[in-house]
Structure formats: C-alpha cells, structure tokens
Amino acid sequence: MTGNDPDGITAAPRTLAVTDLSLVVLIGATGSGKSTFAARHFARTEVLSSDFCRGLVSDDENDQSASRDAFDVLHYIAGKRLAAGRRTVVDATSVQPEARRQLVNLAREHDVLPIAIVLDVPEQVCAERNAARPDRASLPLHVIQRHQRELRRSLRGLEREGFRKVHILRGTAEIDAAEIVTERRYNDLRHLTGPFDIIGDVHGCSSELESLLAKLGYDDGRHPAGRTAVFVGDLVDRGPDSPGVLRRVMDMVEAGTALCVSGNHENKLSRHLRGRRVQLTHGLAETVEQLAREDEHDPEFRGRTATFVRDLISHYVLDGGRLVVCHAGLPEKYHGRTSGRVRSHAMYGDTTGETDEFGLPVRYPWAEDYRGAAAVVYGHTPVPATSWINNTLCLDTGAVFGGRLTALRWPEREIVDVPAERVWYEPVRPLVSEAPGGREGRPLDLDDVAGRRIVETALMGRLAVREQNAAAALEVMSRFAVDPRLLAYLPPTMAPCATSTEDGYLEHPAEAFASYRADGVRQVVCEEKHMGSRAVALVCRDEAAAAERFGAGAGVTGTLHTRTGRPFFDDAGVTEAVLDRVRSAVAAAGLWEELDTDWLLLDAELLPWSLKASGLLRKQYAAVGAAAGAAFPPAVAALEAAAARGADVGELLARQHERAADAQAFTEAYRRYCWTTDGLDGVHLAPFQLLAARDRNLAGELPQDRQLALIDRLVDADVSGLLRTTRRLVVDTGDEASVAAGTDWWLALTAAGGEGMVVKPLAAQARDGDGRLVQPGVKCRGREYLRIIYGAEYTRPGHLARLRQRALGHKRSLALREYALGMEALDRVAAGAPLWRVHEAVFAVLALESEPVDPRL
C-alpha cells in the first residue's frame, strides 16, 4: 500500500483504488497540489475544500481565524453528502491527527470507508507554488516546514487511525502519474439480477438442505435455469452435519452458483478456527467435534472452511438494489454501507440490552421501523412461519429445532420449504409466536404521515401533500377514524361537469358528454347519483378472515366508514348488522369463490341522507327553510296591505312571492333525501363500485359495465332489502342520438326528484389521446338539488350569471390526484403491502381533502 519510490524520479503509473462510496481525505502540506490533484481525479462537486469553506464563512479563503467555522461547514456538507450516499473528497491539509480523527469519525458515523491519499512533496516545491500565488505569497516558510513535519510523523499511523485504504504518493512525478480506479463495495452486487433462491438458517441440517435444493430444482448444486442460491448465514452449529452443509455451500459459492452472507455462528466459528478463545456453547461444540472427525479423511477441509468463513461478507445488495440479504436484518440506512457496526448489525441484529426470561437477548424490532424500498430477506430469529413485515422477511423457520427449512424464490416471492426430519436440537425457548412487530407490521409511525410528504403513485407519479393539510388529516385520522388497519381506502372527490350555459342550468350533461368526446372517450356510463352519505364497506367472509388479513379484533368482520374515515355508526352492533347483510349477499351471489377472496371492499352510498347528516340538516338546511317559512307570509301580507293603500310596492311584492317560492322549492329539495328510519328499517346501501379483493384492484381493472353487472348480482342476491340498485345508461359520446338519450335520461331522473348522475368512462383508468389520465367521472347535479348547494335562489338569472364564473381547475386537479392516490391505496392493499404503505396513500387522500377548493363544487 505504501509508495516505494522515495525520490519521485521515475514515473511508473500508480493506480489507486478508491471505493465508490467513501470519504477520501487528501493529506499534504500547503502547496502540495491537493486541489489540482482533486480537480484532476474527482468530480468538481465531490470535492470539499477548506479554503472554499473559509471563504464562505469569512469572505477570505486564507483567514486562519475562520478555520473553526469553516470546518464546521465542511463537516456539515460532507455529512449531508455521505448520508445521501455520495463519495466525498476532503481537500484540506489534514496533516494533524486531530483533524483526521474528526474525518474518520464522520466516515464511521455514515458507515462509509475512510480513505487516505497522501501527497508527500518536497518543501521546496510547496514553497515555490505558494510563492506563485499572490494570496499565499506572504506565507512564512515555517508553516510549510511544520506541515511537513506533522505529515512525516503521521505516515505510519494512518491505518491505525482508522483509514481502510492508505495511498501514499511521494514526489511530484508519482503524483502526476497516479490514476484513480473506482472500486465497487464488496457488498454491492446490484448488477446480479438472479433469479435467486434465498435459503434460511440451515444449522448443520445437511439432509434437509439437500431436500430443499432438490425441491428448488438444483442438481448437485447447479440449477438448470441458472438460478443462484443465496444463503442467509448460520450454516453451522447445533445440527448433525455442519461439515456436509459447509462443503455443499462452499462448492456452490466457488462454482458461482451460490452466494453466502455471514451469520453470527460463522463469525464465531471463524474466531474459533483462528485460535481465539471462544466458548463452545450454542451448538458450536457439535461443529467442532464434527470438524475434528472431518480432519481424518479431508485434512484440507478445516483450512478451507477457515478461509471461507473469514471472508464472508455480512450483507449483499442485489438485483438493482431491490433486494438486500443479510443474516439478522438491516435498516435501510445501512444498506450498501461499510462499517463495523453495519457488519455487526447484519450478523447480530440490534438488541435492546435486555434479556428475556430464558436469558436470551431481547431483539430490537427493527422491521417495525423499516420503511425502505428494498426487500430485506434475513434469518437469525426462528419463527414458526414466514411473513412479510414492512417489506422484510425472516426465513429462519427453525429447521434444526424441528421446524422447516425455508427458501424464498426471488423475484417470484414464492416460499418453498421442507419439513425438518426431526428435532435435532432442543430450543432454549419456544419459537416466538410471531416475527418482530407482529404480522401486520404495526405500529404506524408518525414519520409515515406527518409533515410535507411525497407519495409515489403508479398513475400520476409523485404527489405532494402539504404540511398544514397533513396536520389537519392527522387530527381527524387520530381522533375520529376507524382503526387504520381496517381503513384501506378513502373515496376521492369528484369534479362537476363543465359549467353549462344552457338557460336556467348551472350543470347539464351535455357538457360532460362533450368533454369526454373531446378527450377521445367514446363509451361512457351514466350512473344515478344516490342522495345519501358516502360509505365505504370492508366486508370479510368471517371473523377469522378479518383477523387474519386485517388484524381485526374479536367480533369485528370489517368496517363501514364515511369519506373521512369516521365510523358510519357509533354502535358497532349496527355496523356488524349491515356487514352481515352485505356478506350474505356476497355469499349468495357466489362472489367469494368467483373473486377467490375472503374480503371485499365496496364503495357505496348509504341512504337516507338524514341518517348521518341529521345534525347538519336540522341546523343548516331545515333551519333555513323554517326561517323563510316564518318570515315570508307576514312580509307578503304586509306588502299586500301596503299595496292596497296605494304604495308603490308592486315589484317588491312580486319579488317576495318569487323568493318565497324559491325557499319552498329549497325545502322540498332537501326533504326528498330525508325519511324516518327505525333500526335498519328504511336504511339502504347502494353499492356502485367494487374496489378491491384479495390480489385484485377491482376498481382499477374492471370496466364499469362489468362492475355494475357484479353489483346487480349482489343486489339480486340480497334478501334483506338493504341493497339498492344503481340505475345506469351507457352513452356513446360520438353519437348524437345516444347523447340526446343520455340528456333525456338525466332530465327524467332529476325531474323525479333525483340528485343527478355521474358520468364515467366505461373503461377503467381511461386516458385521452395523449395518454393522460382523464377525469374518472364527473357529476351532473340536478337543477333542484343544486338549491341545497348554491342557495334557494341560485336559479335567478343574476345569480346564475355570477355562479357560471366558477373555476373548476383546482377541483379537477384535486379529483385526479385523489383518484391516483385512491388507486394506489387499492393497489397496495390488494397486493398485501405493509400497512404503512396502504395508510400513507389513504392518509394522503384525507389530507388533500382539506385543500382549499370551492366547497360547492
């Protein structure tokens, strides 16, 4: 590692290996050419110079009194870069041990390798270079001499100081001829894409390993399809044949058909084989004994094993960064990092420092906190069955304790396992019932939802949630919503159709048909808009299914919640009664089998409106009607009397008559959506969309006609009278007659007191000619209904003219963004994504609902 050309006369090119993620510390006296060297070999932004930082804080690059602040700045920036995984080169003299110590610590703090490159240049050269620079011309020679002294004194100790690579370049010729070669980290195997078969803790169960390899399709350590086995470590100890396992794995690794990371047992074995004093506990004694027997017929084996276990890497990043394999699990910030603590965490996990009643260390449930994009597959902690938690999977199913030996096929994510042939080793404690964190990866963390956030969606890419909206959503979600595990979806808002210019109308279906036609959407379906309250129903086949899939408590088979996630009914018994009726209909319609699911998420409208909105109705709507009803008759009577006396109040009187009629129409408008209920008598649920079921985002894949056909079957199968059908009409936006039929349908619907209709593209997730998502639906509300929204008198020409200036842009944008988030939530819940992933999208919908948009739209 050290240069061997002290005179710097010959110029044999030197190649210096520099790891791709590292902290490179240039060491050299002032004038030794560090900046020039850095500029030649590294990107401009990779290099942080202390002179530059001095300039930043003091406006003078040579102001030594600013050094302290300058280095604070330098360390801060370096820290940010390293945290982001960017190689950083520090261009400062770094000739003093204290200066280097800080940098080594910084590297360790961010788990990257500290690398030293020393530029050892004769004093004379440094002096000449400084003299040539006007700003340094006055630098006294003794400064350079001091630097040189300190540098010389440092040279031998650099590795001991913690630098993992040390390159010393002596003399200008060697410096000029040096070349930097960027090296990958040992753990970086992102270029390997497998496919892989990741195999759990074997612990000397050679026979089970052979069975598993056979079941996976390997033939004598080689897979015909070129798959690669990846062992998560703990090959040895406790079991009957650790040498047999080692031989198989070492052969495969050497042949390039397998990878293996180090388990804690390999680490301990390695220490034993290197002659360290290690207690022969936890099954090591068995291995030692088996190895001793092995010595007799294969004397090479011990040495081969020692080298193998010594050189094992503690974790690998594979498949383009999508997969991380290690023994004991690894938080995201350690992925691809290189430090003692990363290695230690990868092999031993993180313990809380406590021990349990069996004297075993209590492990920190790191997987609960895990939010990384890469899947982490690991072993170490025996569990009765594997299950994904927050995109992590523990494969140690206790083969040696009589459990199973388990493998994961990647990227297929299939589990393949074989049972243990017997209990080879009695466990100290029974296998814990669940992997850390519980099967659903509870709890949610505030960092999953709070503050300004970006949510990645398949439909619209990255969507932002602003901080104040997240704050409001946090309040409502925390205080009023149902259990987040049951809250798989919140309905997006829907924009109205473009404003109509039709006489007397603010909204008219002609606009809806025209805009879809303009978007190139021919087939649309008009669906009757039920005037109730939005309700999302999660129905599980039974209590067991609800507990298994959603972690629901006793007696809970799903949920029925409002559009902000609040329980629809205060009484859980009523909720269950509704769910029960829906469940019966699903069963009778045969949908459990047909959709191959044991849960179903439905979007629906619950009627009557007065059931949930009675407070609002009384305080707001009925009150307005009551006030008008009390005020107009005496006012009209007084005006009539005044008119009889000859006062000129004719116009005023006529106007009051009209206003009184408008107020009466308003009262009639809200009354249509109110009726008295008794228990569930008079209560109706009108499902209009099947959202999701196991493995399927039904809203995202089924066209509306197929959706409605399934729902019709539900309604037909319902014997309780709860479910209500949704009337609909398919319209071809390109066919005038069809459009006219659609308009007539809407006119008839609203004339009969209907709220209006929703027009949706027939196809799911429809796009326009440019491939952009179109509105997933627009609403056309009836003329009378809109009195409830815009006020009793909105139809008067003056008012209408004003209202027609309404701006729809923000509402339409919001509707699309919430739709994309809703689809994302459904994708995630259908795919069985970790709870925090589902919750993130659902929470974002709620947050967006608090964005400032005209509430009348």
Partner 1 sequence: MFLTISTTGSAAGPATDLGFLLHKHPDKAQVFSTSYGDAHVFYPEAEAERCTAALLLEVDPPALVRRGRGKSRGGAPDAALAQYVNDRPYAASSLLAVALRTVFASAMRGDCRALPERAAAPLPLRIEVPALPARGGPALVARLFEPLGWQVTAEPVQLDGQFPEWGDSRYVRLVLEGELRLSDALRHLYVLLPVLDDAKHYWVSADEVDKLLRFGEGWLAGHPEQQLITRRYLARRWSLTREANERLELVRLADADDVEVEEIDNAVEAEQPEGEQERPTPLAVQRREAILAGLRAAGAARVLDLGCGQGQLVAALLKEPRFTEVVGVDVSVRALEMAARRLHTDRMGERQSARLTLLQGSLAYTDKRLKGYDAAVLSEVVEHLDPPRLPALEHAVFGAARPRTVIVTTPNVEYNVRWETLPAGHRRHADHRFEWTRQEFRDWAQAVADRYGYSVEFLPVGPDDPEVGPPTQLAHFTGGGTEEKKTHGKNGPNDTNDRKKEDAA
Question: Closest approach of Cβ 493 to partner 1, in Å?
Answer: 7
CA 82 to CA 108: how far, in whole Å?
10
**Residue with the two structure tokens 């906190």:** 369
Residue 854 binds partner 1 (CB under 8 A): yes
The beta-carbon contacts of 278-287 under 8 Å, at least 24 apart in sequence, are: 282/237, 282/238, 283/203, 283/204, 283/237, 283/238, 283/239, 283/400, 283/425, 284/237, 286/204, 286/237, 286/238, 286/239, 286/240, 286/242, 287/204, 287/236, 287/237, 287/242
Q: What is the DSSP letter of 519?
A: T
Do 315 and 337 meet the contact criterion of CB atoms below 8 Å apart? no
* Closer residue to partner 1, CB minimum distance, 442 or 713: 442
Residue 654 binds partner 1 (CB under 8 A): no
* Closer residue to partner 1, CB minimum distance, 525 or 660: 660
Helix axes 50-58, 67-83, angle to 10 degrees: 120
Residue 299 binds partner 1 (CB under 8 A): no
- 768 by Cβ neighbours in 10 Å (0-12 / 13-18 / 19+) ranks as middle
Among 189, 232, 317, 482, contact with partner 1 (rule: CB under 8 A): 482
Residue 855 binds partner 1 (CB under 8 A): yes
Half-sphere exposure of 177 (CA within 13 A, CB side): 16
Residue 473 binds partner 1 (CB under 8 A): yes
CA 182 to CA 86: how far, in whole Å?
13
Binders of partner 1 among residues 225 to 284 (CB under 8 A) are 264-265, 268, 279, 281-282
Q: How are strands ordered across the β-sheet holding 22-27? A: 47-49, 88-91, 22-27, 113-120, 165-170
Question: Closest approach of Cβ 641 to partner 1, in Å?
Answer: 4
Q: What is the DSSP string of 709-756?
A: HHHHHHHHH--SS-B----EEEEETT-HHHHHHHHHHHHHHHHTT--E
* Closer residue to partner 1, CB minimum distance, 234 or 319: 234
Binding to partner 1 by CB under 8 A, coded x per residue (else -) over 625-644, reads xxxxxxxxxxx-xxxxxx--
* Closer residue to partner 1, CB minimum distance, 195 or 443: 443
Binders of partner 1 among residues 745 to 804 (CB under 8 A) are 788-793, 799, 802
Among 27, 313, 663, 780, contact with partner 1 (rule: CB under 8 A): 663
* Closer residue to partner 1, CB minimum distance, 672 or 767: 672
Tell how strand 179-183 and strand 15-19 pair up.
parallel
Among 445, 594, 658, 744, contact with partner 1 (rule: CB under 8 A): 445
Binders of partner 1 among residues 375 to 414 (CB under 8 A) are 380-381
Among 329, 331, 403, 484, contact with partner 1 (rule: CB under 8 A): 484
Residue 477 binds partner 1 (CB under 8 A): yes
Single out the segment in contact with partner 1 by CB under 8 A; choices: 346-354, 387-395, 710-718, 728-736: 346-354
Listed in order, strand segments (DSSP E) in 490-619 are 495-496, 523-528, 533-540, 558-561, 599-607
* Closer residue to partner 1, CB minimum distance, 138 or 281: 281
Instruction: Give the total of residues touching partner 1 (CB under 8 A).
Output: 121
Do 820 and 773 meet the contact criterion of CB atoms below 8 Å apart? yes
Q: What is the DSSP string of 213-236?
A: HHHHT-BTTB-TT--EEEE-S--S
Binding to partner 1 by CB under 8 A, coded x per residue (else -) over 312-331, reads ----------------x---
CA 41 to CA 21: how far, in whole Å?
15
Single out the segment in contact with partner 1 by CB under 8 A; choices: 31-39, 314-322, 474-482, 731-739: 474-482
Residue 164 binds partner 1 (CB under 8 A): no
Residue 340 binds partner 1 (CB under 8 A): yes
CA 143 to CA 154: how far, in whole Å?
17
**Residue with the two structure tokens 């004003």:** 802
Binders of partner 1 among residues 667 to 726 (CB under 8 A) are 667, 671, 674, 676
Residue 805 binds partner 1 (CB under 8 A): no
Question: Closest approach of Cβ 89 to partner 1, in Å?
Answer: 29
Single out the segment in contact with partner 1 by CB under 8 A; choices: 218-226, 341-349, 497-505, 731-739: 341-349
* Closer residue to partner 1, CB minimum distance, 144 or 487: 487
* Closer residue to partner 1, CB minimum distance, 30 or 381: 381
Among 73, 476, 717, 763, contact with partner 1 (rule: CB under 8 A): 476
Question: Closest approach of Cβ 602 to partner 1, in Å?
Answer: 18
Residue 372 binds partner 1 (CB under 8 A): no
Single out the segment in contact with partner 1 by CB under 8 A; choices: 21-29, 508-516, 541-549, 564-572: 564-572
Do 351 and 363 meet the contact criterion of CB atoms below 8 Å apart? yes
CA 389 to CA 702: how far, in whole Å?
29
**Residue with the two structure tokens 């399809």:** 225
Single out the segment in contact with partner 1 by CB under 8 A; choices: 23-31, 49-57, 111-119, 442-450: 442-450
Residue 449 binds partner 1 (CB under 8 A): yes
Sequence-separated (6 or more) residues with CB below 8 Å from residue 840 = 448, 449, 453, 455
Question: Closest approach of Cβ 42 to partner 1, in Å?
Answer: 33
- 737 by Cβ neighbours in 10 Å (0-12 / 13-18 / 19+) ranks as exposed
* Closer residue to partner 1, CB minimum distance, 130 or 493: 493
Residue 108 binds partner 1 (CB under 8 A): no
Among 612, 684, 760, 828, contact with partner 1 (rule: CB under 8 A): 612
Tell how strand 196-199 and strand 404-410 pair up.
antiparallel
Question: Closest approach of Cβ 471 to partner 1, in Å?
Answer: 5
Do 204 and 245 meet the contact criterion of CB atoms below 8 Å apart? yes
* Closer residue to partner 1, CB minimum distance, 16 or 540: 540
Measure CA 113 to chain center. 29
User: Other C-beta atoms within 10 Å of 791: how many?
Assistant: 17
* Closer residue to partner 1, CB minimum distance, 318 or 325: 325
* Closer residue to partner 1, CB minimum distance, 149 or 618: 618
Residue 533 binds partner 1 (CB under 8 A): yes
User: Other C-beta atoms within 10 Å of 99: how many?
Assistant: 18
Question: Closest approach of Cβ 669 to partner 1, in Å?
Answer: 11
Residue 10 binds partner 1 (CB under 8 A): no
| Residues constituting the chain | 857
* Closer residue to partner 1, CB minimum distance, 87 or 612: 612
Helix axes 123-131, 141-154, angle to 10 degrees: 140
